[in-house]
Amino acid sequence: MRLPPLLHAVVGSVMLFTSQISHGQSTLKLPDLGTSALQVLPIEKEQAIGDVMMMQIASQLPLVQDPVLDEYLTSLGNRLVANANDVRFGFEFFWINNPAINAFAFYGGHVGVHTGLIAQSDNESQLASVLGHEVAHVTQRHLARRMQHAKDNSALTLAGMIAGILTTIVAPDAGIAILSANSTQAQLGQLSHSRKAEQEADRFGMQTLYEAGFDPSQSSEFLSKLSAQIRYKTKPPAFLLTHPLPDSRVSDVRLRAQQFEPRYVPASLKFELAKSRVLARYQFESIQAQSYFENQLRLNTSELHQLALEYGLALSLLDQNKLEQSQVLLDKLLKHDENNLFYLDAYTDLLIAQQRPEQATKLLQLKHEFRPNNQVLTLNLANAAIEAKQLNMAEKLLKLFLLEKPKHALAKDLLLKVYKEQDDKAAYHEMHASLLAQYGAYLKAADEIQRALNHTDDKESVKEARLKALLSQYRQMQKELAKL
């Protein structure tokens, strides 16, 4: 599904926090190294800090709002979390549109993944090895333990450390430069994962990788790829700015992987399709993407890779408005697998581009009946319904979806389009306020609620009371945010 960019409100500067936030093998016996962190940062506070940081990141970084890629990443991430040790809360995985090889995790189970990571991964086990590593950083509470270390050694204030971590996550070069001006090298080391933390994350992450059914040897293969890049570049990949990679680490990971029985993991079509989607829509311009996929199709003979490359080519053609050529490929792919979410999403875009949204709604309604809670089908159906002027259907779909996923920005953006088409100004401004508040722009959200009140009928006393309560809530939330 191709949607216009979401409204991004500015939350504020990075310096947001103050010291007030003050099987063939037997299972390895791994010590619980995360316990000491509980002394300085309780789980509830960690989650609260993580939520505020996520708000900050969502307002400043180009998050990828793509239901198909979100579905794939969440499924892969949850598969790893289900096999990890010491999981204390739910995880949230999200994409950032950035060609650099990078991934990061922070407080409360938030894991960000650059599109460049999957673009540079050769297989799903390599991608999963990085995600498993990041999950381990969270479950072993490495950031919280680093905060404890800083407190014990007076290296940094908690506020400075949190702000530095956030800055380093958002822009690694800027973060390190800012802190270099006022910090010793020892303090700088606090802002990237220590070698000990990396070893722990490697060990726990590889165990998780194996338990989840992936190939542990691909961990060392991916690190070797990163190590090779260092040799030919004066500037290291972004991932290595916060994840040190001494030569010994690659060999350590390789030796650790050899402790597990060799495992053959068949190629994953979903991984290949996700990679093709990233290459087509986030890594290359559409003309470049077309050339890339056409060249690769001449070189590859594997049926699975052929399907993924044809899918990528179909997307690149669709994005250039070469609709007939794209349809030939998508018809072939859907004939091969009529329920594939990647293909259905692209076919919806095609039908809308051909000004046939009614046909898209008919197709997706049949699929939606069997999988009513699937975000790809629901959001594509709602989008097609809006284009077909079936606004009541779209409104009902989106309201039900938001009951289950109340923070889903794309669903809110679509519902904004519905209310605008319906000329329901009160509902439009209320939903706009909800979206702004999600990015921490509480004052702007309060302004939107005031506008909603201006469009409320005198007879709508219940709605008026609810909106006034929201107005008070947003103003109070702005005060609370200012205290941090």
Q: Which residues are annotated as a binding site for Zn(2+)?
A: 133, 137, 198
Cα–Cα distance measured from residue 344 to residue 366, given in angstroms and rounded to the nearest whole number: 12
Cα–Cα distance measured from residue 244 to residue 141, given in angstroms and rounded to the nearest whole number: 18
Query: Would residue 202 show up in a list of annotated catalytic residues for this protein?
Result: yes
The beta-strand segments (E) located in 274-417 are none
Question: Which residue among 46, 71, 124, 134 is the active-site one?
Answer: 134
| Residue 396: how many other CB atoms lie within 10 Å | 13
Cα–Cα distance measured from residue 142 to residue 104, given in angstroms and rounded to the nearest whole number: 12
Specify the DSSP class assigned to residue 342.
H
Whether the Cβ atoms of residue 225 and residue 215 lie closer than 8 Å to each other: no
Whether the Cβ atoms of residue 198 and residue 62 lie closer than 8 Å to each other: no
Burial class (CB in 10 A: 0-12, 13-18, 19+), 92: middle
Query: Would residue 86 show up in a list of annotated catalytic residues for this protein?
Result: no
Question: Which residue among 202, 215, 345, 413 is the active-site one?
Answer: 202
Q: What is the DSSP string of 163-221?
A: HHHHHHHH-HHHHHHHHHTT--HHHHHHTS--HHHHHHHHHHHHHHHHHTT--THHHHH
| Residue 101: how many other CB atoms lie within 10 Å | 21
Cβ-based neighbours of 480, under 8 Å, separated by 6 or more: none
Q: Residue 417 is encoded by which pair of tokens?
A: 């389009």
Cα–Cα distance measured from residue 3 to residue 66, given in angstroms and rounded to the nearest whole number: 9
Cα–Cα distance measured from residue 455 to residue 449, given in angstroms and rounded to the nearest whole number: 10
Burial class (CB in 10 A: 0-12, 13-18, 19+), 146: buried
Beta bridge partners of 106: 110
Whether the Cβ atoms of residue 143 and residue 43 lie closer than 8 Å to each other: no
Torsion of CA 153, 158, 159, 162, to 10 degrees: 110
| Residue 152: how many other CB atoms lie within 10 Å | 9
Hey, which residues are catalytic here?
134, 202
